[in-house]
Structure 1
Amino acid sequence: MGISADMRVDIDRFWSTIEASAKVGQGRPGGLSRLTLSDSDREMRDVFAGWCKEAGLTVSVDEVGNMFARRDGRDNSLAPILIGSHLDTQINGGRFDGIAGVLAGLEVLRQLNDAGHHTKRPIVVVNWTNEEGARFSPPMVASGCFVGKYSAAWTKDRIGDDGTRFGDELERIGYAGPDVCKAGDIDAYYELHIEQGPILDAERRDVGIVVGGYPSHGMRASFSGRTAHTGPTPMNLRQNALVAGARWLTSIDDIGWEYAVYDGKATAARLTAWPNKPGILSDTAEAVCDVRHPDLATTKVMAEKMRRALFESAAKTGCTATIEDEWQWGGDIFDTNLVQGLREQAIRMEFNWRDIHSQAGHDAYHLALHCPTAMIFTPCKDGITHNNEEHCEPEDFVAGLNILFHAVIGRADRD
């Protein structure tokens, strides 16, 4: 049985999975705190796997915990199409960030089951591990491992804030899978995501077709000083790592304001220190920051200023600084043919759409390095996200889900 052009997904069924997810790992009122590889992450993974098996999908897990729910095609020798996002959340996360993308993929395959249609190519729904990076740094680490950016051994050796090791937590929750984390041949990758910005909501758009991502550069750095008594130690003899980190992060914020008029952004995201107690200077600190701008050359300038500010901040406090980790993503990385296919579906179904750039990081950024990739943005109220007040209504997903459905089917069935 074929797929008619006017077929639509079951938005109520999709919404029921969103509501069920919202009960797992609840945080502040209305939100979620489902950190990766936590007990609540395991619970949600189990729920998702159950839904997939009920839909007749074959579920597999790789060595870094990425989950793959596969629906075979008529010709399984052909490379599969992947639809993915993530089920983990920030510590004060919402109910839709990442989650909507995974469950949208599930709804696409459920709708195919309802229609009794078997696509030519296999289709796989993916839940990527640790997209948020809220517990283990860097973010999007498992999708990065999948495309060869990081090794599996390096990924499993990431240490969380609570001192736990990524690989050990995978084992503990039962999601250290047997499969090698390696992409192989992929025909295309699609990711649906809430916008995480105010543009679609403010313009009352049904959907955004993502044409690229803001070039971004992130950095995690450590500072080394010396403990000393806060009372008798003269200012000129102090080596306070906490102050070094604080100086760096305020410099980062200044960089953001310097480029804000051109939509540049710089984020002082995190600062930890030890001992971090009254009466004693801290001898170690660690900080995380990032810069981003719609123009790649400008992002590079901002990143260089960020780097210089790091060592200047350390020198001013008598400390030393070390760059522990760096990451960058974004740019015009999405496949023009896939993007045009999404536009054509939006036009055909008469949705109010626009081209849009992503300003946040997504697993799709890594996949775009390996295979043709495209993203769809759906509206969220006032662009509030990474917050328990993140809010969407079922109708916010109608356009995105149906565009995704027909674009994926068209890609999967092409000659």
Structure 2
Amino acid sequence: MSAEARIHGRRLLDRLNAFAQIGATAAGGVNRQALTAEDREARALLARLARDRGFAVFQDDMANLFVRRQGRRAELPPFLIGSHLDSQPTGGRFDGALGTLSAFEVLEAIEDAAVETESAIEVVAWTNEEGSRFSPGAMGSMAFVGAADPSAWRDLRGSDGASLSEELAATLVALPEAEQRPVGMPISGYLELHLEQGPSLEKERIPIGIVTGVQGTRWLEVTVRGQAGHAGTTELAYRRDPMVATTVALEKLFAAVMPGDAAARLTVGRLCTFPGSINAIPEQVVFSVDLRHPDSDRLDEMEEQVSAVCAKAATASGCTVDIRRTFDMPSAEFPATMIVTLEDAARRLSIPFKKMISGAFHDALFLARVAPTGMIFVPCRDGLSHNEAEFVEPEDAILGAQLLLEATLAVTQST
């Protein structure tokens, strides 16, 4: 199968460089947030490249962008490959773009070799995977699989104050050459190539990770309430300090959750005090907790642990605590059939690989709800991602694309 079509490595690398100029930052990264002018420019470039090769271009009402190469049997649902083109405000040039442009290179390689597939293959660039400008992330893929109702986002404002509805409409209008289609359709499967966003592949010198699933994610907002007071005149016996309760709770959680379970993740990324005066005991402290684990039952246990530890620390400090769940993303296991397809493809290409869980959630997490889904990871330097220094070695990018091609042909030629 690999003899029929081959990835054109130089073409792929040139495309990655070209797209990295759209929203380029001075530090070598990319600021191409969802539904901005830069995002529209990247979408327009992909559409132009597709039309130049004779591929059909579509977009749906969520601005998910599709590039289609027809198969022999038009009645079969298409097989999707792709990722996203939007970035973090100070993001890297590979997150998302590597998967989307590698998928497009797969389509070109198949076209170059005049390979006939049974089903159509469509490259997809999902809308707003990152969620940096408009929250939540993965809007496009969630809407596609029916995991969310887009009408609920109608009044959303972005981090810059922009209206989601207005920016979405402007993005759709900016690409009139794309044929409009409804959100969602039957598909036969989905494959996504992505950089690992962690250090394990690079450290272990393994060029490919075959992803077996995505761990669950749960976000909590913890509010500890005490009593404001003067920093200089309020003695210890009279203090009801929510910061004391917070620090005691976090010390216990940091010492217990991750050290006690290698698969667990606990992160406090945001902490605010109110009223926030340097010389006043705060009235309340609000902090976020990001919990992750591949096992949903274990995730429940971790949430209960956070609640119990925070409640005990608050009571001991004369405070009260309120915990609100703000985000709940169940874990997902990718089907054995897709994992075996990737393993067999890697063996045919003599590429070493390891099986692994994804610590971050991707569009593939949602596609797995409606069709057989798989993911390929390639190493990234020092495990850095969501960072302007993000980097994937050229040979790793090309190898990942070649595996994506091999697996895509295995599925679409045997449908």
Q: TM-score range by the shorter chain?
A: 0.7 to 0.9
Aligned CA distance change for structure 1 residues 145 and 277 (closer, same or farther; 3 Å): farther
How far does residue 15 in structure 1 lie from its aligned partner after superposition?
0.7
Aligned to 2:391: 391
- The answer to whether residue 170 in structure 2 is matched with residue 166 in structure 1 is no
The Cα of 1:82 is off from its aligned counterpart by 0.5
Aligned-pair CA distance for 1:255: 3.0
Encode CA deviations 1:350-369: one digit per residue, 9 max, x unaligned.
Answer: 11211122111111011111
Match of 1:376 in 2: 376
How far off is 1:233 after superposition?
11
**8 Å CA contact retained: 2:311, 2:320:** no
CA contact (8 A) 1:28 1:388 kept: no
Q: Map residues 241-390 of structure 1 onto 2, 5 A cutoff.
A: 251=249, 255-261=253-259, 262-263=261-262, 264-271=264-271, 288-307=288-307, 321=322, 323=324, 325-331=326-332, 333-390=333-390
The corresponding residue for 2:103 is 105
The 3 A distance-change label for structure 1 pair 87 and 286 is: farther
Checking the alignment, whether the CA contact within 8 Å between 1:252 and 1:266 is kept in structure 2 is: no
Q: Structure 2: how far apart are the matches of 1:63 and 1:247?
A: 47
Query: Is it true that 1:209 corresponds to 2:214 in the alignment?
Result: no
Ranges in structure 1 where 5+ consecutive residues have no aligned partner: none
* TM-fit CA distance, 1:305: 3.0
Q: For residue 182 of structure 2, what is the aligned residue in structure 1?
A: 180
Q: Name the SS for the 1:269 alignment partner.
A: coil
**Per-residue deviation, residues 47-75 of structure 1 (Å, max 9, x unmatched):** 22222222222222222221111111111
User: What residue identity is the alignment partner of 2:183?
Assistant: C
Q: State whether residues 229 and 282 of structure 2, in contact with CA within 8 Å, keep that contact through their aligned partners in structure 1.
A: no
* Shift in alpha-carbon separation, 1:376–1:234, aligned structure 2, 3 A: same
Letter in 2 for 1:385: S
| Deviation sequence 1:224-267 (CA, Å, 0-9, x none) | 98999988998999999xx68x9769956853542223322112
Conservation of the 8 A alpha-carbon contact between 1:378 and 1:396? yes
Q: Partner amino acid for 2:387?
A: N
May I ask how many residue pairs the two structures share in their alignment? 407
Q: Partner amino acid for 2:117? A: T
CA pair 282-256 structure 1, distance change in 2 beyond 3 A: closer
Q: Scaled by the length of structure 2, what TM-score is found?
A: 0.85
In 2, are the aligned partners of 1:252 and 1:289 still within 8 Å (CA)? no
Measured against aligned partners, the alpha-carbon deviations of 1:310-333 in whole angstroms (never above 9, x if no partner) come to 7788987978857373221324x1
Contact 2:224 2:321 in 1 (8 A): yes
Distance 1:302 1:23, change over 3 A: same
What TM-score do the two structures reach when normalised by structure 1? Answer: 0.85
Distance across 2 between alignment mates of 1:336 and 1:375: 12
| Contact 1:257 1:265 (8 Å CA) reproduced | no
Distance 1:256 1:273, change over 3 A: closer
Letter aligned with residue 360 of structure 2: A
Give deviations 1:17-75, integer Å, cap 9, x for gaps. 11011111123512112211222212212222222222222222222221111111111
For 2:266, give the aligned amino acid: A
Structure 1 letter corresponding to 2:182: V
**Within 2, Cα distance between the matches of 1:360 and 1:160?**
22
